[in-house]
């Protein structure tokens, strides 16, 4: 194994079991590094926390915690990448899981986000949802009229600036709808993390994902 910090080939094994680089003098645990790399590989291969736990013989909560760490790293990385970039086009998307689409009242549970196209990549911004208005609408006694007005409002107030119907943004939405299904339901408070994970996996190849996560996670070794 080379040094994970400077790629130097000369390492010393310490009594603690850690390795120390002869060049940069930094220490790290080879076993811990290998475990992180295996987790990163599974995460980048789209395995769920449960599938990864079974694959690597680890506790589910351990894997879940590490995957949450990865998602936090991804959000920071994507924010930095998007800074000061020129936006080519953008459009608004309203997501509602398939199981909720049959009941019109569930429109208040929809997730609304803006998708931006910059360079050859996608960036998403989550908008406030309408759940806080749900009880007010249902208790008002004029539900049907409200739903009609709401539908009209969504049609007339859609935020959009796109050059053609099929573009990188619509490709991302299709990709997102397919990817989000594997989680079998995402809580509102966690939706943003999964949205950014899908954005990350849409923007970067498997090899790029692995390298980005490895580089960003060295401080945890």
H, E, C per residue of the chain:
CCCCCCCCCCEEECCCCCEEECCCCCEECHHHHHHHHHHHHHHHCCCCHHHHHHHHCCCHHHHHHHHHHHHHHHHHHHHHHHCCCCEEEEEEEEECCHHHCCCHHHHHHCEEEEEEEECCEEEEEECCCCHHHHHHHHHCCCHHHHHHHHHHHHHHCCCEECCCCCCHHHHHHHHHHHHHHHHCCCCHHHHHHHHHHHHHHHHCCHHHHHHHHHHHCHHHC
pLDDT at 140 over 80: no
Q: Do residues 92 and 146 share a domain?
A: yes
Q: Do residues 147 and 96 share a domain?
A: yes
pLDDT at 131: 67
Q: Do residues 17 and 105 share a domain?
A: no
pLDDT at 141: 56
**CA-to-CA distance for 104 and 135, rounded, in angstroms?**
14
Which residue shows structure tokens 């811990």?
A: 32
Q: Do residues 22 and 52 share a domain?
A: yes
**CA-to-CA distance for 194 and 103, rounded, in angstroms?**
24
Q: Are 115 and 82 in contact (CB under 8 A)?
A: no
pLDDT digits 0-9 by tens, 14-71 = 888 888 989 988 888 888 888 989 999 999 999 999 999 999 999 999 999 999 999 9
What are the two backbone dihedrals, phi and then psi, of residue 142, each rounded to the nearest 5 degrees?
-125, 45
**CA-to-CA distance for 113 and 95, rounded, in angstroms?**
8
Domain that holds residue 25: 11-80+209-220
Residue 149 CB coordination number (10 Å): 11
- Residue 135: which pLDDT band, with cuts at 50, 70 and 90? low
CA torsion 22-73-40-194 (nearest 10°) is 180
Q: Do residues 148 and 166 share a domain?
A: yes
Among 22-26, 105-109, 156-160, 170-174, name the most confident range: 170-174
Q: Do residues 90 and 178 share a domain?
A: yes
pLDDT at 219 over 90: no
Position 162 in a domain: yes
- Residue 172: which pLDDT band, with cuts at 50, 70 and 90? very high
| Pair of tokens at residue 62 | 């351990």
pLDDT digits 0-9 by tens, 205-218 = 999 999 999 888 77
pLDDT at 137 over 80: no
What percent of the chain is modeled with pLDDT above 70? Answer: 80
Residue 25 region by backbone torsions, left for phi larger than 0, else alpha for psi between -120 and 50, else beta = left
Q: Are 146 and 135 in contact (CB under 8 A)?
A: no
Position 201 in a domain: no
Position 91 in a domain: yes
Position 107 in a domain: yes
**Greatest CA separation for the chain:** 75
Position 190 in a domain: no
Q: Do residues 116 and 173 share a domain?
A: yes
- Report the number of distinct structural domains present in the chain: 2
Instruction: Give the mean pLDDT of 101-110.
Output: 71
Q: Do residues 93 and 173 share a domain?
A: yes
Q: Do residues 72 and 99 share a domain?
A: no
Q: Do residues 54 and 103 share a domain?
A: no
Position 131 in a domain: yes
pLDDT digits 0-9 by tens, 176-205 = 999 988 877 788 889 999 999 999 999 999
Position 5 in a domain: no
What percent of the chain is modeled with pLDDT above 90? Answer: 46
pLDDT digits 0-9 by tens, 77-97 = 999 999 999 999 999 888 887
Nearest to 173 by CA among 106, 117, 99: 117
Q: Do residues 106 and 175 share a domain?
A: yes
Position 215 in a domain: yes
Q: Do residues 76 and 92 share a domain?
A: no
């Amino acid at each position: 194994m080379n040094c994970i910090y400077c790629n130097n080939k000369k390492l010393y094994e310490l009594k603690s079991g850690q390795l120390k680089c002869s060049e940069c003098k930094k220490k790290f645990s080879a076993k811990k590094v290998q475990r992180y790399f295996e987790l990163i590989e599974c995460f980048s291969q789209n395995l769920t926390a449960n599938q990864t736990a079974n694959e690597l013989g680890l506790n589910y909560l351990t894997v879940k915690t590490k995957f949450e760490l990865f998602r936090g790293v991804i959000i920071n990385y994507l924010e930095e990448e998007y800074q000061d970039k020129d936006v080519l086009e953008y459009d608004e998307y309203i997501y509602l899981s398939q199981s909720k689409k049959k009941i019109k009242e569930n429109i208040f549970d929809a997730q609304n986000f803006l998708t931006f196209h910059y360079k050859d990549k996608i960036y998403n911004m989550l908008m406030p949802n309408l759940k806080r208005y749900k009880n007010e609408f249902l208790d008002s006694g004029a539900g049907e009229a409200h739903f009609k007005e709401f539908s009209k409002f969504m049609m007339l107030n859609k935020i959009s600036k796109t050059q053609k119907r099929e573009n990188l943004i619509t490709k991302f939405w299709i990709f997102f709808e397919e990817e989000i299904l594997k989680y079998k339901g995402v809580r509102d408070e966690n939706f943003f993390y999964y949205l950014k994970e899908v954005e990350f996996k849409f923007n970067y190849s498997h090899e790029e994902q692995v390298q980005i996560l490895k580089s960003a996670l060295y401080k945890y070794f």
